[in-house]
Amino acid sequence: MSTYHHKQVLDDYDKGKITPEMAVGHSLQHIDKLYEVQATANTDSRTQQAKVDVLEKRVNTLQGTVDRLTAIIEKFRVKRKPGDPKQPKPDQP
């Protein structure tokens, strides 16, 4: 017994070309294939979610670094006064 497209099975059954037993057999084959596809999709979904989790952790780490650098820059900007003789002028190396 080979697997036919599900619509073909229904059409053949309606026209009396296959018996109820044959229709059930084909239906069970389709159900089996659906379970296989579902299992593959679930595995793929878990793999993709693991990748997303890793990327989220990386983004959070990088954002923390950016936040710390921003705080340090702001700290130095507040300490630095315009015209401070200790600070090099923009045209000096």
What local confidence, expressed as pLDDT, does residue 2 receive? Answer: 53
Q: pLDDT band for position 1 (50/70/90)?
A: very low
Give the span between the Cα atoms of 80 and 57, in whole angstroms. 35
Max CA-CA distance within the chain?
99
**CB-side exposure of 5: number of CA atoms within 13 Å?**
3
Judged by DSSP in three states, 30 sits in: helix
Query: Rg of the chain over CA atoms, in angstroms?
Result: 33
Q: What is the pLDDT of residues 40-68, one digit of tens each?
A: 999 999 999 999 999 999 999 999 999 99
